[in-house]
Chain A
Amino acid sequence: MPNWPSERQLMGTKVPRVDGFKKVSGGAKYSYDINLPGLLYAMILRSPYAHCKIVSIDLGPAESMPGVKAVHLIKKPGDELHYAGDEIAAVAAMTEEVAEDALRAIKVKYQVLPHVSSEDQALKAGAPAARAGSADERGEKIEDAIKEAAAVHEGTYGCEVITHVCLETHGLVARWEGEELTAWASTQAVHGTGTALAQHFKIPKATCITNFMGGGFGSKFGPDIQGIVAAELAKKAGAPVKLLLNRAEEHNAAGNRPSAFAKVKAAVDKTGKLIAFDAETWGTGGHSRGAGFPLPYVYPVDNRRRKHTDCFINAGDNRAMRAPGHPQGSLVMDSLMDDLCHKFDPKLDPVEFRLRNLPSTVLRDIYTKELLLGAARIGWKENWHPRGDNAPGPWKRGLGVALGTWGGGPGDAQATCTLHGDGRVEVKCGTQDLGTGTTTVVPLVAAEILGLQIGDIAGSIGSSAFPPAGGSGGSTSCGGVSVAVAMACTKALAELFAKVAPKLECKPEDLQAEYGRVFVTGNLERGFTWKQACAVLGQQPITASADKKEGEKGMATSTVGGAQFADVSVDVETGRVRLNKIVAVADCGLVVNRLTCESQVLGGVIMGINYGLYEQRRLDPPTGLPVNPDMEFYLLAGAGDIPEIDVVLLDYPERGVIGIGEPPTIPTAAAISNAVANAIGVRVPVIPLTPRRVLEALEGKA
């Protein structure tokens, strides 16, 4: 069975990104930066109402404007528009300014329809907008268990809708050359996007290129409406078209994380073990998508019941967002666990309470290690106190903890490795780099297998012209890509050994490649430099291909767990929450690049901080219009809001490679919420924990 080299020179070390200098110098060309000769700029006209019907539409005035090169109708008269931002029509013009004028010139008559803009409205009796979703009931003794419980707690918890806020917005640049379509797309899936475009236009192939990508977080897996429209406009105009959304469109039409609310009753027995769980949950994922999330979460409970309702409102639809459903599940469950612990025994340490309720799976051992390690790093023993900080003055300090879990596993990936007679090594894989560091993972893994330095490898990703790889979602890229690259390089190396062995009068299996040399194992002198070895290939390079399936077992794994701790101070006079420190212990398996792996964890934590304290998509109830589709009133943490963040990688090389994109963003908000409850003595039930909500909780109004 294939496995990673037992001694590794590069994997697990800190390797700066190979494309770092391009990113710090402006040399990195993102899809947004693609400027082609004759490029046209496209924009989309969108619904100005939360809910309406198109009565009539006249594109004529836009079409006849100087500088406008193509118009395209997306909806027709009679069509319903489901949210403010729903697409109507698009134009392509010689400048953005003209395109903007052309949108204004389009004449549309609307019939305004009644709208629903909140979960509460959707849930009101008689409203057509809510739909009972899944009901899940297991165990027969919920009522009995609750009756006999040592402690029962009932609470309501919730999370608001947030949006991805990818800094590079969704969209692409489309260019036709005859029947051939090339798209420079801001996408998490070059192959998926290329295939979807080809299917739409019924052409054999469309090439999708993503050399650099400005964030996706789960929301960018296909061409979307705007990508199709850009290609349609490019076809009509006979010129390349750039269509990337503006900031408001990005908030309204490019996905969001659904809200999640839960009314939960739960009970523990006299040993402090969870024995019953009864929940009603609801949330909104937009006008046509649900708001499901896992619950109960992490902590197992035999007797449980859950009824879920999806609230359909006149807002843009959700899309996968970094660990879809899990941050919501974590917030609800870990808030509940803390409240239950407090009810059971106010003096019981919540870390101890969690240790008693861990699942009896592979994760038990991992969570235990993480809880003990994290508690030590945050100073839990020294600083934890029962709920409510009695210190004088308005600032109250508290500690909190929460857990998260994720599946992951190695995603689909194929790779090729080509060894040239002059020693050059080319490795290709049709994956993409979202900022995660995949561009560096490819040459890093190849160099490890071939015994070279990272600079010796020419790695290429970010094009559907390269061997197929899946979309970068679910924290699956690093596992799949690193295994596929390792297997391709291993195969190429075996072929090279077969050609070099006769020259060294040994068997191919006696050879090894390390330190930039190919030599007989145990005798570094009896061998060649890499260049000399490759010279035997002459003009006939070796190309080997591999699929991650050839090596995934043992080289990559799924099912991960993480623990996070928060240390906060809360001003009980103003309701302001200040973070002192976050500790994130991440289940990393075999770390590929320690530098970028730590960055991923850091980034996950900061996204969790945003979720817990700042972010909320707001709709105006009377009009249903988005209030903050910008970066001014849609709050994100800035430099001054960031605490010390202690990232701890729980090395576990024997588990193989684990993708780390999603897990670290799951428990942050719950850990912060628990720390706030620990500081001020009461639960602030809904995140973000705004000053107003903190004050309301203190006044008992929450």
Chain B
Amino acid sequence: MSEESKKPPAPSSASPEASGRFSRRWFLQGVALSAGTAVLPGEGLLGGSAFAAPQAPARIGPEPVQIALSVNGKDYQVKVEPRVTLLNALRNYLNLGTNTPIDLTGTKRVCDRGSCGSCTVILDGKTVYSCSVLAVECQGKKITTVEGVAEGNQPHPIQQAFVECDGLMCGFCTPGFIVSSKALLDRNPHPTPTEIRRALNGNICRCGTYNRVFQAVELASIRMKVKGG
């Protein structure tokens, strides 16, 4: 293992490449883990509030571990087995064991194998397939889901444009397209048609709305330009 890979990554370097070099050692150094006692699944998943001081246990799991996820600017405590993907943590675990269920099911599970893009979220500024990232990898990172794209109660221009251009039909792939499009406009506010297609090549739509999705991204881009984007 190289010296470099022993260091915890700076948050800004969490690109797909960086997460591809994810090493368990620096993960364990940098992550706070719960006491790690065997807990029956579902038994007081948030019980105990045992968010222990940073330590380096020999291994994590297979028992559930308590982690903190920062989703759309809010921090959530969840207890998940290390094998739980970020996608499943968002969809199935955030609302467990609380009196005020958090319903973040906008992120969709479709292929569950990193092929279709329906589960796309923004992780520290870069799009990732949340089906292909473990929840435990995401501590300390900023996660933006489709629910976090709107600016307060105002729809993001990309959302407005998708509705106006009918860049959606059944809508099941739409959260992924919205997130990918938003990430594109964040890094390249005025993409060319080719750049739009390239940026959205990781998202599959079965109803067949692509052409209108392209229109929507162009429309949003123009509007953001007018607004001084």
Shortest distance from the beta carbon of A164 to any chain B beta carbon, whole Å: 8
Shortest Cβ distance from residue A146 to the other chain B in the assembled complex, whole angstroms: 41
Question: Cβ of A25 < 8 Å from any Cβ of B?
Answer: yes
How many interface residues does chain A have, given as a range?
A: 35 or more
Q: Which residue of A lies closest to B164 (CB)?
A: A16
* B134 CB to nearest A CB, Å: 12
Contact (Cβ within 8 A) B115 A632? yes
A-B contact pairs, 14 of them (CB 8 A): A16-B163, A24-B146, A24-B163, A26-B106, A26-B147, A67-B41, A165-B206, A167-B173, A596-B166, A599-B166, A599-B212, A603-B208, A631-B111, A632-B115
Instruction: Tell whether B172 is near chain A: CB-to-CB under 8 Å.
Output: yes
Q: Is A30 an interface residue (CB 8 A)?
A: yes
Q: Which of A177-185, A209-217, A477-485 contacts B (4 or more CB under 8 A)?
A: A209-217
| Chain A residues with CB under 8 A of B207 | 215, 435, 599, 603
The residues of B that contact A32 with a CB separation of less than 8 Å are 105, 108-109
Q: Identify which of residues 206-229 in chain B touch chain A, using a CB-to-CB cut-off of 8 Å.
A: 206-214
Question: Which residues of chain A come closer than 8 Å to B200, judged between CB atoms?
Answer: 638-639
B130 at interface (Cβ–Cβ under 8 A)? no
Interface string of B106-131 (1 = CB under 8 A from A): 11111111111010000000000000
**A595 B166 Cβ-Cβ under 8 A:** yes
Residues of B within 8 A of A19 (CB): 171
CA–CA, A146 to B81, complex, Å? 71
B210 and A606 form a contact (CB under 8 A): yes
A306 to B111, CA, bound (A): 40
B113 touches A96 (CB 8 A): no
Within 8 Å CB of A25, what residues of B? 106, 146-147, 149-150, 155, 159
Bitwise, A14-44 to B at CB < 8 A (1) or not (0) is 0011011101111111101101010001000
Shortest A631–chain B CB gap in Å is 4
Cα of A603 to Cα of B212 in the assembled complex, Å: 10
Check B170 for interface membership: any CB of A closer than 8 A: yes
CB nearest to B118 among chain A residues = A167
Measured between beta carbons, the chain B residues less than 8 angstroms from A436 are: 169
A93: B residues at CB distance < 8 A: 41
Chain B residues closer than 8 Å to A167, beta-carbon distance = 108, 110, 116, 118, 170, 172-173, 204-206
Q: How far is the CB of A168 from chain B (nearest CB, A)?
A: 5
B66 at the interface (CB under 8 A from A): no
Within 8 Å by CB of B110, from A33, A247, A596, A604, lies A247
Report the Cα distance A95→B39, complex, angstroms.
13
- Nearest residue, chain A, Cβ from B179: A26
Q: How far is the CB of B199 from chain A (nearest CB, A)?
A: 8
Q: Across the interface, do B88 and A639 meet the contact criterion of CB distance under 8 Å?
A: no
User: Is A631's CB under 8 angstroms from B115's CB?
Assistant: yes
Contact with B along A578-608 (1 / 0, CB 8 A): 0000000000000000011011101111110
The answer to whether the Cβ of B188 comes within 8 Å of any Cβ in the partner chain is no
Flag if A35 contacts B92 (CB, 8 Å): yes
Q: Is B162 a contact of A20 with CB atoms below 8 Å?
A: yes
Most chain-A Cβ atoms within 10 A of its Cβ — which of B83, B173, B205?
Answer: B205
14 further A-B contacts with Cβ under 8 Å, apart from A26-B145, A35-B95, A642-B211, are: A16-B164, A20-B163, A25-B106, A94-B42, A168-B170, A437-B169, A599-B209, A602-B212, A631-B111, A631-B115, A631-B204, A632-B115, A639-B213, A640-B201
Q: Which residue of B lies closest to A664 (CB)?
A: B208
Asked, given contacts A21-B159, A602-B209, whether A638 binds B169 with beta carbons under 8 Å apart, the answer is no
Any B CB within 8 A of the CB of A224: no
In this assembly, does B40 line the interface, its C-beta being within 8 Å of a C-beta of chain A? yes
Q: Within 8 Å CB of A24, what residues of B?
A: 146, 155, 158-159, 162-163, 168, 171, 174-175, 178
Q: Are B112 and A246 in contact (CB under 8 A)?
A: yes
**A636: Cβ under 8 A from any B Cβ:** yes
Q: Is there contact, CB below 8 Å, between A28 and B171?
A: yes
A598 to B169 CA separation, bound complex (whole angstroms): 11
Q: Could you say which residues of chain A place their CB within 8 Å of the CB of B42?
A: 67, 94-95
Q: Is B186 an interface residue (CB 8 A)?
A: no
Of residues A95, A98, A636, which shows the largest number of chain B Cβ atoms within 10 Å of its Cβ? A95
Residue in chain B with minimal CB distance to A67: B41
Closest chain-A Cβ to B42's Cβ sits at a distance in Å of 4
Expressed in whole angstroms, the minimum distance between the Cβ of B98 and any Cβ of chain A is 10
Q: Does A434 contact B (CB under 8 A)?
A: yes
CA–CA, A213 and B178, complex, Å: 18
Number of A-B residue pairs, CB cutoff 8 Å, is 188
Q: How far is the CA of A382 from the CA of B94 in the complex (A)?
A: 60
**A-binding residues in B (CB < 8 A):** 40-42, 81, 83-84, 88, 91-92, 95, 101, 103-116, 118, 145-147, 149-150, 155, 158-159, 162-164, 166, 168-175, 178, 196-198, 200-214
By a CB distance below 8 angstroms, the chain A residues around B107 are 26
Q: How many angstroms between the C-alpha atoms of A595 and B163 in the bound complex?
A: 11
- Contact partners of A20 in chain B: CB under 8 A: 162-163, 166, 168
Min distance, Cβ B41 to any Cβ of chain A, angstroms:
4
Among A30, A166, A596, A602, which residue has the most Cβ atoms of chain B within 10 A?
A602
Within 8 A of B (CB), among A390-446: 434-437
Q: Which residues of A contact B41 (CB under 8 A)?
A: 66-67, 93-95, 97-98
Docked complex Cα distance between A566 and B99 (Å): 57
Measured between beta carbons, the chain B residues less than 8 angstroms from A640 are 197-198, 201
A606 to B208: give the CA distance in the assembly, Å: 5
Q: Which residues of B contact A26 (CB under 8 A)?
A: 104-107, 145-147, 175
A74 proximal to B (CB < 8 A): no
Q: How far does the alpha carbon of A213 sit from the alpha carbon of B64 in the complex, in Å?
A: 33
Contact residues in A for B198 (Cβ distance below 8 Å): 639-640
Which residue from chain B places its CB closest to the CB of A15 in the assembled complex?
Answer: B166
Enumerate the 4 nearest inter-chain pairs by beta-carbon distance, A residue then B residue, closest first: A26-B106, A435-B170, A606-B208, A214-B172
Contact: B211 with A212, CB < 8 Å?
Answer: no
Of all chain A residues, the one with the shortest Cβ separation from B159 is A24
Please indicate the chain B residues that have their CB under 8 angstroms from the CB of A604 in the complex.
208
- By the criterion CB–CB under 8 Å, are B40 and A67 in contact? yes
How far apart are the CA atoms of A26 and B198 in the complex, in Å? 24
Q: Which of A66, A94, A97, A434 contacts B170 (CB 8 A)?
A: A434
Instruction: Decide if A35 touches B101 in the complex (CB within 8 Å).
Output: yes
Contact between B209 and A35, CB atoms less than 8 A apart? no
B32, chain A: closest CB distance, angstroms? 22
Q: How far is the CA of A443 from the CA of B194 in the complex (A)?
A: 38
Q: Judge whether A630 is part of the interface by a CB distance below 8 angstroms.
A: yes
Closest Cβ of chain A to B194, distance in Å, is 9
Most buried by A among B159, B171, B174, B203: B171
Q: Is the CB of B174 within 8 A of A33?
A: no
Complex formed: what's the CA distance from A322 to B80 in Å? 41
Q: Give the chain A neighbours of B174 by CB distance below 8 A.
A: 23-24
Q: For B208, what are the chain A residues with a Cβ–Cβ distance below 8 Å?
A: 602-607
A355: Cβ under 8 A from any B Cβ: no
Residues of A within 8 A of B92 (CB): 35, 41, 95-96
Cα–Cα, bound, A631→B197 (Å): 19
**Segment 607-629 of A: residues with Cβ below 8 Å from B:** 607
Q: Is the CB of B172 within 8 A of A30?
A: yes
Cα distance, A605 to B207, chains bound together (Å): 10
Question: Across the interface, which residues of A come within 8 angstroms of B114, CB to CB?
Answer: 632
CB–CB B113/A214 < 8 A: no
A215 touching B170 in the complex, CB below 8 Å, given contacts A606-B210, A631-B204, A639-B201: yes
Interface residues of A in 367-385 (CB under 8 A from B): none
**A642 and B166 within 8 A (CB):** no
Q: Tell me which residues across on chain B come within 8 A of A631, comparing CB atoms.
A: 110-111, 113, 115-116, 204
Interface assignment of A645: CB less than 8 Å from any CB of chain B? yes
Known contacts A214-B170, A636-B206: does B155 contact A21 (CB below 8 Å)? Answer: yes
Q: Across the two chains, which residue of chain B brings its CB closest to A638?
A: B201
Query: How far, in whole Å, are A644 and B197 apart by their CA atoms in the complex?
Result: 12
A-chain residues with CB within 8 Å of residue B159 when the two chains form the complex: 21, 24-25
